[in-house]
Structure 1
Amino acid sequence: IEVVPEPERTIKISLFERAAFVYLDAIIAELAIKMGKTNADMLRKHSETI
């Protein structure tokens, strides 16, 4: 019986891209806190712009 591994489901990105994503995500979280926005507010606003 041959076992075939399941393909990875993660996108291959560089360490720089991963660090930039985490950094920018933290900035967005801080801005949301300072503006008094909840995650639901941000999701609603995002869905209106698409």
Structure 2
Amino acid sequence: MDCVYILHSLHLDRFYVGYSSDLYSRLEYHKKSASDKFTAKANDWNIFLIIA
């Protein structure tokens, strides 16, 4: 299912907006250090909102 998602990090107190067809795999990617520079700054990203 394609969706837009908003993640939140308590550590950074920041939000991140993304798009994916496989949200839960993408969330795991964001939590790993291999992700892009912004989301690599924290590993506590949680789903704040999903828009399908």
Query: Structure 1 length as normaliser, TM-score?
Result: 0.24
Q: RCO greater where, 1 or 2, for CA within 8 Å and sep 6 or more? A: 2
- Who wins on radius of gyration, i.e. which is larger? 1
TM-score, length of structure 2 as denominator length:
0.23
